Amino acid sequence: AQGAGSACPSCGGPTPAPQAERALVLELAKQQILEGLHLTSRPRITHPPPQAALARALRRLQPGSVAPANGEEVISFATITGPSTSACSSVLTFHLSTAQSHHLYHARLWLHVFPTLPGTLYLRIFRWSPGSGHQGSRTLLAEHQTTAPGWHALTLSSSGLRGEESPVLKLQLNCRLLEGNTTSAQQPRQLLDTAGDQRPFLELKIRPSEPGAGRARRR
């Protein structure tokens, strides 16, 4: 509605002045995008990922992959915390508030192995759920071994990731060398590159949960 005495332009009313029309269209564009993304306001990005890391991550993804109808693909960069740096053990933390109420059907963790890998690297990824006791609980999501440096994509058990209610996902990364006698001399950050542009990242494919899917499964 344009105000008293005028009608909706789509129904043959007067066309607004160009300046007013442009302002209206821009406002419409904002509302349309926010509604389409189910957002109430534009996100304020306080810690944007570095451009180089972002570009590398996007290049690593499957080319031409298209999100299914109303689905999403998410790249989340890890924040690294290490309860102990003497063992090859780190906790990768991901903030995934967008993935709530969605059905996760694909998850891959990308890790960068240093070029100076002295033997076979054995990796295990656990989902870390802080619980009672000192250790919390762990669920094994993936195992991997390699002798090749560079980027590695570890497919994670999506069933192991489901049921995560918290928007914060913690993955525990354990690694060790299978060959040679250099394990004790190798610091974790000399095997896996977890800093700067080579930060680990998680690739998720999710789709909206279908209402009634649980009922259908029960039938």
Partner 1 sequence: TPTCEPETPLCCRRDHYVDFQELGWRDWILQPEGYQLNYCSGQCPPHLAGSPGIAASFHSAVFSLLKANNPWPLGTSCCVPTARRPLSLLYLDRDGNVVKTDVPDMVVEACGCS
* Cβ-Cβ contacts under 8 Å for 28 (sequence gap 6 or more): none
* Cβ-Cβ contacts under 8 Å for 99 (sequence gap 6 or more): 72, 74, 167, 204, 206
Tokens of 96: 């995934």
Tokens of 7: 């009608």
**Closest CB to partner 1 among 68 and 136?**
68
Q: Where does residue 14 rank: exposed (0-12), middle (13-18), buried (19+ CB within 10 A)?
A: exposed
Min dist. Cβ of residue 191 to partner 1 (A): 26
**Closest CB to partner 1 among 4 and 58?**
58
Among the listed residues 18, 48, 64, 212, the single contact to partner 1 using CB under 8 A: 48
What string marks each residue from 76 to 95 as x (binds partner 1 by CB under 8 A) or -? Answer: xx----------------xx
Among the listed residues 20, 37, 52, 148, the single contact to partner 1 using CB under 8 A: 37
Going by the DSSP 8-state scheme, the letter that residue 179 receives in this structure is S
Phi, psi angle pair for 34, to nearest 5°: -60, -40
- How many residues touch partner 1 under the rule CB under 8 A: the total is 43
Stretch that binds partner 1, among 4-12, 134-142, 145-153, 189-197 (CB under 8 A): 4-12
Min dist. Cβ of residue 219 to partner 1 (A): 29
- Is 182 near partner 1 (CB under 8 A)? no
